[in-house]
């Protein structure tokens, strides 16, 4: 449910933002004189660091699954090919949720639950 809300907010932001996506998400300069500039900078860095750390952590999870034999053959192709599509369409939160779901699917398959 939260993934659908996050994807809806992402879609609304893409449609309603008066600025380009790079301007909204990526800091342009490092020094401001006003409070709003500082707040925008902190929120942009928080967004980048939070989702960057989430994707890095999920990457470590997939490497761990590979080492214990949870990822076999071409299993990795599905998540690698779908992650950019899901992230572009539904936003980074939907991308993290999709990668988490895929990881849980692989774990359940390895435990004989699928």
User: pTM for the whole thing?
Assistant: 0.76
Burial of 53 (0-12, 13-18, 19+ CB in 10 A): exposed
Q: Tens digits of per-residue pLDDT, 65-81?
A: 888 877 777 777 888 88
Domain ranges of the chain: 2-110
pLDDT mean across residues, the chain: 84
What is the token pair recorded at 67? 């080492």
pLDDT category of residue 113 using cuts at 50, 70 and 90: low
pLDDT of residue 111: 58
pLDDT in tens, 27-64: 777 777 888 888 888 888 898 899 899 989 988 988 88
pLDDT bucket at 112, cuts 50 / 70 / 90: low
Other C-beta atoms lying within 10 Å of the C-beta of residue 70: 17
pLDDT tens digits, 91-104: 888 989 999 998 88
């Amino acid at each position: 449910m939260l993934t659908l809300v996050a994807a809806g907010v992402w879609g609304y932001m893409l449609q309603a933002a008066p600025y380009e996506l790079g301007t909204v998400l990526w800091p342009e300069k490092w020094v401001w004189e006003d409070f709003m500039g500082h707040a925008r900078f902190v929120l942009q860095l928080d967004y980048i660091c939070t989702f960057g750390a989430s994707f890095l952590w999920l990457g470590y999870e997939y490497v761990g699954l590979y080492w214990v034999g949870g990822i076999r053959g071409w299993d990795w192709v599905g998540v690698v090919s779908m992650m950019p599509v899901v992230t572009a369409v539904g936003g980074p939160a939907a991308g993290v949720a999709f990668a988490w779901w895929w990881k849980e699917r692989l774990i359940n398959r390895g435990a004989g639950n699928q």
